[in-house]
Structure 1
């Protein structure tokens, strides 16, 4: 396979450290030749790691995309509301595109991105990384082998984790739907995509309920200050006390969450950043608007039904699923890498233990990058295409519309 070249637009956590890591680990397959990032420290640090010369470092995507095409593809990892324009302009320039999810919080922009992929015959691969996990790959294979007969129902839960909710969706970049996108789109478009993929059909109707119940002002403990480090009397019995999480919780380092707080990860730098930075705020005194729990009910055109639950109030950041069929039942835990199959005829139980990585969505991130690079370098078809990503994104937006307006949405009419 020839070496694929790429430009990176947005050198934050996902673009700067996760997806681009594939180029450092597999330099014969992928090379990043240019970067666009408005933050000078991040831009220069990324350029140093990837040996990118000064004249290929840009402050904005507009500046980069004003030049003649300089690579095979563009990885676009900006914030939620900043995907559509660089994606469309990159495809017009001749780039194939890897787009961080969600594509956009706007229905018209999602449809336009899919349309331009077809118009210019470009690969538009959205980072629905779960499809590439050993877990969901195995679930899909077992389903297609007929191991549980005809699929009838799916029950799926995403356990966000109390600490992940506090970091990303209360204090962090995705806390406010108007600034980013609704929780069901930002966090759960992965899950809508998995349900669509496993069902083997198209969405027919969708309904939803839930809301922001706990992480709001009226639930703040008595006299809790706006920032954790301003002498909070509840520090010893609060699971969301910021200094304890960012200095002691293993996930802060393992998942790279600490780099959202500060690029300098020594104790003094972390404490300085928490004193008045967004990640040091009391979780009950933030400007968050996204839900902390939500359930979705889906009917597909082939009469498969699915029930999905997203909740912040768990210890683990995990996904568990049950598939119920006419000849058997499958249940699994993605993070544990376990799948259990029950056969109704023999009444037998088969337990499958998968090897899964502890990082990167159980190994999905690197598997997705490998697939994307092969699509470009070898012309191989991928596990997903833009049309299915468009549908699963619109399912998430329809679910939010159903929740807010307390209605059941006819999906065809919605689209």
Structure 2
């Protein structure tokens, strides 16, 4: 039985990783919790039957003790990863680290060095590598069915309500307090692009983007600062009535209120950030961003990150010398076109349609695959992980460079960028 402690009982720590351990495996058990919020802490205690001796108000108290379990899950805020993981490594814990590793370049680099120095097993939560959808895409590329990859178009369709919840009202609305959008939301995507290209490294990156819409100047005339007081409550696209009241007991309402009742939600939205007008928040992260990326194997990528989509999904087009792959992860659908094998007037490509395996769990089954591998890693059944810090560093560096390009208007040479932090 692998004994695991959880540091940070937010949506990922409590409702995803710890919940998986509770409901889906007999090989591991949550035995400790560090969480400042008393309600979330109590929920963890009750669900996992945690001994009071291993209940802590904060991570410092947890990690001040001698090592008492096998592994820790670090799911604190983006700006609160470095110190806990440093101490956890010193104690010899195996670690599941929520992405991003850190919101600072130098700390990401230091985490890689520390993992190698202490020799502990660390898995970064790049869950897309564990999804059947992206695994199938990689298998297709590696098979050579479309020849050599030349160009990729990849879209992270955030979804209008998801963006309003997480990046206008929510925890990641202000990059001065947490992380730039491309790091927090899309180090996933930058990581998966590198993985699809067999670990190819980025050589240059240029990005363009802005906070275009979620500003006070776009607020409807006469709108209130808080939604429950507003005359547009029933008609506004981003009304909490549409986003939260129909999702009691599920995300994103699990984040909007600690108690999942209509009455508790009413009270929470009167005071917390999730009841604020989306046009009158203290948000500063971009709501649209386009990056142009060059990899060292000659492949070029355009990556589009946008709030203004109906569906929450990732779509991709991979163009090769012998064919083309198109995919939509929400629809779990992949199309492969082999050039010159069709019967069309101009020898259109032969079309193959693929439905990848379905695995239950968030992120298209990626959360499930991630947790399965983490438990195997702790058991010693895996030598290493697909997402160790050294591998994950590439996507983080790309994200930091992309944000610098967006802010400065310059094309970033990655070798020169990395030298500044060595």
- TM > 0.5: yes
Query: 354, 363, 366: which is aligned to 2:365?
Result: 363
Distance in 2 (CA, whole Å) between partners of 1:357 and 1:306 is 28
Distance in 1 (CA, whole Å) between partners of 2:34 and 2:25 is 20
**Which residue does the alignment assign to 2:85?**
87
Cα distance, 1:18 vs structure 2 = 0.1
The answer as to 2:322 corresponding to 1:323 is no
Listed one character per residue, the Cα deviations across residues 38-95 of structure 1 (whole Å, up to 9, x for unaligned) are 1111111101111111111011111111111111111000000000110111011101
Cα distance, 1:359 vs structure 2 = 4.6
Cα distance, 1:240 vs structure 2 = 0.5
**Which residue does the alignment assign to 2:388?**
385
**Which residue does the alignment assign to 1:202?**
201
**Which residue does the alignment assign to 2:175?**
177
Cα distance, 1:344 vs structure 2 = 1.0
**Which residue does the alignment assign to 1:394?**
397
The answer as to 2:238 corresponding to 1:236 is no
Distance in 2 (CA, whole Å) between partners of 1:109 and 1:156 is 28
Cα distance, 1:224 vs structure 2 = 0.9
Distance in 2 (CA, whole Å) between partners of 1:388 and 1:85 is 21
Is the CA contact 1:243–1:274 (under 8 Å) kept in the aligned structure 2? no
Note the residue ranges of structure 1 that are not aligned, 5 or more in a row. none
**Which residue does the alignment assign to 1:301?**
296
Quick one: structure 1 residues 318 and 294, their matched pair in 2 at CA, closer, same or farther if it must change by over 3 Å?
Answer: same
Distance in 2 (CA, whole Å) between partners of 1:10 and 1:193 is 24
Listed one character per residue, the Cα deviations across residues 284-318 of structure 1 (whole Å, up to 9, x for unaligned) are 01000101000111000111111100110011110
Cα distance, 1:382 vs structure 2 = 2.2
Distance in 2 (CA, whole Å) between partners of 1:253 and 1:307 is 37
**Which residue does the alignment assign to 1:287?**
282
Cα distance, 1:357 vs structure 2 = 5.0
| Length, aligned pairs only | 409
The answer as to 2:292 corresponding to 1:260 is no
Quick one: structure 1 residues 125 and 185, their matched pair in 2 at CA, closer, same or farther if it must change by over 3 Å?
Answer: same
Moved more, 129-138 or 272-281: 272-281
The answer as to 2:272 corresponding to 1:277 is yes
Is the CA contact 2:100–2:396 (under 8 Å) kept in the aligned structure 1? yes
**Which residue does the alignment assign to 2:344?**
none
The answer as to 2:43 corresponding to 1:45 is yes
Q: Secondary structure at the match of 1:229?
A: helix
Cα distance, 1:142 vs structure 2 = 1.1
Is the CA contact 1:176–1:290 (under 8 Å) kept in the aligned structure 2? yes
Distance in 2 (CA, whole Å) between partners of 1:276 and 1:36 is 26
Is the CA contact 1:169–1:175 (under 8 Å) kept in the aligned structure 2? yes
Query: 291, 309, 324: which is aligned to 1:314?
Result: 309
Moved more, 164-173 or 238-247: 238-247
Is the CA contact 1:170–1:286 (under 8 Å) kept in the aligned structure 2? yes
Q: Secondary structure at the match of 2:30?
A: strand
Listed one character per residue, the Cα deviations across residues 333-379 of structure 1 (whole Å, up to 9, x for unaligned) are 01111010001142311000124357511111011110111122134
Listed one character per residue, the Cα deviations across residues 134-177 of structure 1 (whole Å, up to 9, x for unaligned) are 10011111111111111111110011011001110000011000
CA-based RMSD: 1.3
